[in-house]
């Protein structure tokens, strides 16, 4: 059993962090927090707008600040953005402040799940498949570095992945209470 104040989901876009995360949070009585949505709420701008006006580096700075604030809390499931692991401090905070689950997915499955999605700035290119492969090469080792548990979501519906993850977590993770 690995106790931690938060449950954190990492993985590439299209892995199911939000859809699975909401269900798992409900099963464990945790507050669900989508880090990207928290960035939007804090800045008042969409992720696409932030990328357009600040570039990826500016977005990553805001992501880092929001993630740091979120992970200071407890009793929550935090769904991170796919690139949150790129920053070494983010990875350190994740390991210190949560039990980290890596939701794994193949590039082929990502392409199917994302369809014609237009709200992911890094994928607004004709060579989406190559972009996803390139991101996987860079990010996969970082997801593995922070992960306490890995779940391959390929071939699983969100309810199936939720059931499997809930079962695994029941034996491996215990939320710890902290004084607010």
For 163, counting Cβ atoms within 10 Å of its Cβ (0-12 exposed, 13-18 middle, 19+ buried), the class is middle
The binding site comprises 14-19, 36, 60, 82, 120, 139
CA–CA separation, 49 vs 121, rounded Å? 9
Q: Residues comprising the binding site for substrate?
A: 36, 60, 82, 139
Give the DSSP letter of residue 37. Answer: H
Q: Count of alpha carbons within 13 Å of 49, Cβ hemisphere only?
A: 7
Residue ranges at the known binding site for ATP: 14-19, 120
Q: What is the CA radius of gyration of the chain?
A: 15
d(C-alpha 143, C-alpha 154), whole Å = 16
Residue ranges of the annotated binding site for Mg(2+) are 18
Only one residue has tokens 């199917």, namely: 112
Task: Centre a 10 Å sphere on the Cβ of residue 137 and count the other Cβ atoms it contains.
Answer: 9
């Amino acid at each position: 059993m690995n106790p931690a104040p938060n449950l954190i989901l990492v993985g590439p876009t299209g892995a199911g962090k939000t859809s699975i995360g909401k269900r798992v949070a409900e099963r464990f009585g945790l507050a669900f927090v989508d880090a990207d949505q928290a960035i939007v709420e804090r800045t008042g701008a969409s992720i696409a707008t932030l990328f357009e006006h600040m570039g990826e580096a500016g977005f990553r700075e805001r992501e880092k600040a929001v993630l740091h604030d979120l992970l200071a809390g407890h009793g929550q499931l935090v769904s991170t953005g796919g690139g949150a692991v790129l920053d070494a401090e983010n990875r350190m905070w994740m390991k210190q402040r949560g039990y980290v689950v890596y939701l794994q997915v193949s590039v082929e499955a990502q392409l199917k799940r994302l369809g014609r999605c237009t709200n992911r700035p890094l994928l607004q290119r004709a060579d989406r498949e190559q972009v996803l492969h390139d991101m996987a090469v860079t990010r996969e080792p970082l997801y593995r570095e922070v992960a306490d548990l890995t779940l391959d979501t390929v071939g699983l519906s969100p309810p199936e992945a939720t059931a499997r993850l809930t079962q695994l977590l029941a034996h491996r993770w215990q939320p710890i209470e902290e004084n607010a």
